[in-house]
Structure 1
Amino acid sequence: MKTTFTPLEALQKLEHFCAYQERCHDEVVSKLYSLKMTTDEIDQIVVKLIEGNFLNETRFACSFARGKHRMKSWGKIRITNELKMRNISATNITLALKEISSEEYLETFEQLSERSWNSIQENNQLKKRKKFCDYLLRRGYESNLVYEKVKEMEQN
């Protein structure tokens, strides 16, 4: 594999990298560092990627939120935290969360909680409650939703 790249080669490589799937600025910058680019070159390449619409933080955030909710059934808290770890702005996080309709969100939550409750093989009711709540909280669902659901599930 080639170890050094000219800024033009790096730009072309990153255009393919961004065209393949949405990327955030952090991913692009660390990729450029791995290609041994200087800070000035990185800045120039990032600007060119943004101008060429290869790199768009808002588009990334929206696509990330939709994808993680639909494919991995993540809740809004987990999605928000993951986007924050990628240094996405609060404005873009808010826009991204609007991509998930409240009907779709609650439907996913219902399906996930039903499946989870029924799959927990635990005779001790307290332990079953804890496992159920921990699982849904880890997935990023709001605690009030989780605790209302656990009460509902115990009554059935």
Structure 2
Amino acid sequence: MNNERTLNLLGALALSLVDGLNAATEGASGFGGEAPAALVTLGVEPGLSIKALGQILRLSHPGTVRLVDRLEKQGWVERRHGTDGRTLALFLTEAGTERRRLILAERRQPLQRAIAPLTAADREQLTTLLETMLTALTTDEQEAFAICRLCEEEVCPGDRCPVEQQYCRMVHP
């Protein structure tokens, strides 16, 4: 087997999927960049601080503050006092929760197109391969959060998520 060709095909597929995901999630949120991922992440992790959200999204602190300001202006996110009294905790509003649902629904479309030609057996095999690859890519907590920042936790809960399972094995060997 030609490993270079496999890598090239994987790169082309990844780029095509990223382009499709970006177009779908940006269309659903009306914002580019990490805005869709911020809404998805806050739906799974309500009460995150601006610092924690920025780390997950790999944004600078000022960039995260500007993003939260935009999301708050849309009525999708609200700031509340954090548990220690010094930080602010971020939560989705009802409108933010609805926008999150729309983003995730639109996110499925390019992914559905990519797997549509596969048989049921192909899909099972792909699932196994993806679980193996995601496990290998999970190197620490930050990477785990970053990998899953646009995931539907409802369809891949922690007890079935290869990323979360790998992270747990790392923390509790």
TM over 0.5: no
Decide which structure has greater helix share. 1
Alignment TM-score, normalising by the size of structure 2: 0.30
* Larger RCO: 1 or 2 (CA < 8 Å, sep 6+): 2
Larger Rg, first or second structure (1 or 2): 1
Alignment TM-score, normalising by the size of structure 1: 0.33
